[in-house]
């Protein structure tokens, strides 16, 4: 039914937030493609505009309101009527309440209602009502939907949805629900199928992949899943995110022993102060974290460790912050996503009073970024003079003649495209690059092999 009604309509999707949303957007796009819609790159040409939203920090909320409002000034679309649909985490959090901030939205679909997106949009074309679905028990699974992948060589593969951890600052458990693991067989079959059609790299996704399988009695856990995915023939396996409290020795062993698992671990620390970690409800201490890093490095000495860090959690003192700086130096992060604490209504941390001046927090943020720049620079130096296999993902933004891709450790690597060659000969393929330059955020060198 939805198929005929939406046939020939054009759609545009803008995605905010994390890889979960990126993957959900691929499902929405797949569903609309299956209904006969055509994707366009300009919202002005779209009959359907979809926003996949994020509310992890306040800035993401504000951006949505601006984007929705700007749809009002777009020229009329080809079909004469434009349907604006808001999905993702703000839709789940606010439901109908979203209309207080944006009045030109026709469809609101929560994170649990994504399988219903095409019928909601179809209904919105047929009447002038608002179509809203955010029920936690909305039937249908996103992983059963058609899938429009952004690239042919990489796939985001969700292995579980939701989060049970309730870190005190974080809104995610409230908008994504409880942890729900996909079955082992479904994931392994999916990756096997992806490998067969030429996908070179998969990233297994979950808010905490280390608790994979815990919600299914007797089911295989993450270490077993890594080993099974390692047998599918896919060449590169990555995963994110990993909660330190649940990283088990058997997972570290699987990472060390499965050749396709890339030597990169994103292990969000959030703070280097045990006192703040306790306030954050992270359930590990600074010492626990450092001991884990030690265990990982014992098995995989050159692993790239990356992290997330929050600066300015309520009540963070200079001493707490100095502990974060010293931990970052001690670990020697290859990269870190650094965030200024953003108060999220409804989370326990939102009730903690805080009088740290904004300029103190901004100063700490700058000092942290500078330490991470030092550790990232130092981390990259060991690649100098080495030959590194790189999965080519495109060309450098600044120079279309410079290939750009990722090393096993997830470093960005550049090399000049040979004279007369085209990006198409390299895109999604692996080439060896002899590294002669190592900067803070990238390596560069020269091609040392044909693409394979
Ligand atoms: N589940 C992942 C984990 O624990 O590693 C993180 C998912 S969250 C989408 C990504 C990051 O956003 C978190 O690791 C945290 O650093 C940051 N974050 C979450 N809530 C925040 C808040 N209220 N203010 C600032 N940063 C926040
Ligand atoms: Fe948020 Fe913590 Fe869950 Fe990550 S583990 S999504 S930071 S509650
Ligand atoms: Fe944002 Fe939702 Fe992801 S709040 S970070 S899009 S889970």
Q: Which burial class, exposed, middle or buried, applies to 80 when counting CB atoms under 10 A from its CB (0-12, 13-18, 19+)?
A: exposed
Instruction: Tell me what pLDDT residue 1 has.
Output: 46
Q: Which ligand is nearest to the CA of 55?
A: 3
Q: What is the pLDDT of residues 391-408, one digit of tens each?
A: 999 999 999 999 999 999
**Statement: residue 140 has pLDDT above 90:** no
How far is 423 from 352, CA to CA, in rounded Å?
52
Q: What is the pLDDT of residues 13-72, one digit of tens each?
A: 999 999 999 999 999 999 999 999 999 999 999 999 999 999 999 988 888 888 998 899
Of 76-80, 157-161, 253-257, 356-360, the poorest mean pLDDT is in 76-80
> For ligand 1, atom 20, which residue shows the shortest CA distance?
170
Instruction: Tell me what pLDDT residue 79 has.
Output: 85
Task: Specify whether 284 is located in the same domain as 320.
Answer: yes
Atom of ligand 1 nearest to the CA of 241: 5
> For ligand 3, atom 3, which residue shows the shortest CA distance?
18
Examine the fold and report which residue of 234, 253, 272 is the final residue of a domain before the chain moves on: 253
Distance 341 CA to ligand 2 centre (A): 14
CATH number of the domain at 240, please: 3.30.750.210
341 located within any domain? yes
**Statement: residue 2 has pLDDT above 80:** no
Number of domains in the chain: 4
Task: Specify whether 376 is located in the same domain as 393.
Answer: no
Distance 33 CA to ligand 1 centre (A): 32
> For ligand 2, atom 4, which residue shows the shortest CA distance?
207
Task: Specify whether 283 is located in the same domain as 361.
Answer: yes
Task: Specify whether 323 is located in the same domain as 396.
Answer: no
Task: Specify whether 31 is located in the same domain as 113.
Answer: yes
Task: Specify whether 16 is located in the same domain as 116.
Answer: yes
Atom of ligand 3 nearest to the CA of 207: 7
Task: Specify whether 284 is located in the same domain as 364.
Answer: yes
**Which residues does ligand 1 sit against, CB inside 6 Å?**
18, 56-57, 169-170, 172, 207-208, 241, 243, 268, 270, 308, 310, 339, 341-342, 344
Instruction: Tell me what pLDDT residue 321 has.
Output: 98
Distance 52 CA to ligand 2 centre (A): 19
25 located within any domain? yes
313 located within any domain? yes
How far is 62 from 445, CA to CA, in rounded Å?
41
Cα distances (angstroms) measured from residue 450 to each of 136, 153, 298, 446: 50, 17, 34, 12
CATH number of the domain at 377, please: 3.30.750.200
How far is 86 from 102, CA to CA, in rounded Å?
10
Q: What is the pLDDT of residues 282-340, one digit of tens each?
A: 999 999 999 999 999 999 999 999 999 999 999 999 999 999 999 999 999 999 999 99
Residue 197, φ and ψ in degrees, nearest 5? -90, 15
Task: Specify whether 126 is located in the same domain as 14.
Answer: yes
How far is 199 from 182, CA to CA, in rounded Å?
20
Task: Specify whether 349 is located in the same domain as 395.
Answer: no
The pTM assigned to this predicted structure is: 0.95
> For ligand 1, atom 19, which residue shows the shortest CA distance?
170
269 located within any domain? yes
Q: What is the pLDDT of residues 183-236, one digit of tens each?
A: 999 999 999 999 999 999 999 999 999 999 999 999 999 999 999 999 999 999
Examine the fold and report which residue of 231, 253, 275 is the final residue of a domain before the chain moves on: 253
146 located within any domain? no
Average pLDDT, the chain: 95
143 located within any domain? no
Examine the fold and report which residue of 228, 253, 278 is the final residue of a domain before the chain moves on: 253
CATH number of the domain at 55, please: 3.40.50.12160
Atom of ligand 3 nearest to the CA of 90: 4
Instruction: Tell me what pLDDT residue 78 has.
Output: 81
Task: Specify whether 224 is located in the same domain as 319.
Answer: no
139 located within any domain? no
Instruction: Tell me what pLDDT residue 288 has.
Output: 98
How far is 30 from 83, CA to CA, in rounded Å?
18
CB of 124 within 6 A of ligand 3: the answer is no
CATH number of the domain at 434, please: 2.40.50
Distance 173 CA to ligand 2 centre (A): 7
Distance 188 CA to ligand 2 centre (A): 25
Instruction: Tell me what pLDDT residue 3 has.
Output: 58
Other CB atoms within a 10 A radius of the CB of residue 382 amount to: 12
Task: Specify whether 247 is located in the same domain as 275.
Answer: no
Q: What is the pLDDT of residues 297-310, one digit of tens each?
A: 999 999 999 999 99
Other CB atoms within a 10 A radius of the CB of residue 350 amount to: 15
Query: In terms of residue numbers, what domain contains 439?
Result: 387-447
Decide if 380 contacts 437 (C-beta within 8 A): no
Instruction: Tell me what pLDDT residue 22 has.
Output: 94
194 located within any domain? yes
Task: Specify whether 121 is located in the same domain as 43.
Answer: yes
């Amino acid at each position: 039914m939805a198929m005929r009604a939406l046939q020939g309509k054009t759609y545009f999707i803008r995605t905010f937030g994390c890889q979960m949303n990126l993957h959900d957007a691929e499902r929405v796009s797949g569903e609309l493609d299956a209904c006969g819609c055509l994707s366009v790159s300009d919202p002005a040409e779209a009959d359907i505009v979809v926003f996949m939203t994020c509310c992890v920090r306040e800035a993401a909320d504000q951006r949505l309101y601006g984007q929705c409002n700007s749809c009002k000034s777009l020229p009329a679309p080809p079909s004469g009527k434009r349907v604006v649909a808001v999905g993702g985490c703000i839709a789940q959090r606010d439901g109908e309440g979203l209309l207080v901030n944006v009045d030109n939205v026709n469809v609101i679909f929560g994170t649990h209602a994504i399988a219903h997106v095409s019928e909601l949009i179809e209904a919105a074309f047929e009447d002038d009502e608002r179509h809203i679905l955010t029920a936690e028990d909305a039937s249908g699974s996103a992983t059963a939907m058609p899938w429009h992948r952004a690239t042919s060589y990489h796939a985001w593969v969700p292995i579980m949805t939701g989060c049970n951890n309730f870190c005190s600052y974080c809104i995610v458990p409230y908008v994504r629900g409880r942890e729900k693991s996909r079955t082992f067989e479904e994931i392994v079959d999916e990756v096997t199928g992806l490998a067969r059609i030429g996908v070179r790299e998969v990233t297994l996704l979950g808010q905490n992949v280390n608790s994979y399988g815990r919600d299914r009695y007797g089911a295989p856990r993450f270490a077993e899943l890594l080993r099974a995915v390692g047998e599918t023939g896919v060449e590169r396996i990555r995963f994110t995110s990993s909660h330190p409290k649940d990283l088990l020795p058997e997972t570290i062993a699987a990472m060390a022993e499965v050749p396709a698992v890339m030597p990169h671990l994103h292990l969000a620390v959030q703070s280097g102060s045990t006192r703040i970690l306790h306030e954050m409800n992270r359930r590990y201490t600074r010492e626990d974290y450092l001991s884990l890093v030690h265990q990982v490095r014992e098995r995989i000495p050159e692993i790239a460790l990356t992290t997330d860090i929050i600066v300015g959690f309520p009540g963070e003192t200079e001493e707490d912050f100095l502990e974060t700086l010293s931990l970052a130096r001690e670990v020697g992060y290859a990269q870190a996503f650094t965030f200024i604490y953003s108060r999220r209504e409804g989370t326990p941390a939102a009730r903690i009073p805080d009088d740290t001046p904004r300029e103190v927090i901004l100063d700490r943020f700058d000092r942290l970024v500078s330490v991470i720049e030092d550790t990232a620079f130092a981390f990259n130096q060991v690649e100098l003079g080495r030959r590194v296999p790189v999965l080519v993902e495109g060309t450098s933004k600044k120079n279309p003649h410079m290939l750009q891709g990722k090393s096993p450790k997830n470093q960005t690597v550049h090399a000049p495209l040979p004279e007369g060659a085209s990006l198409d000969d390299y895109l999604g393929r692996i080439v060896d690059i002899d590294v002669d330059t190592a900067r803070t955020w990238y390596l560069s060198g020269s091609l040392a092999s044909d693409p394979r």
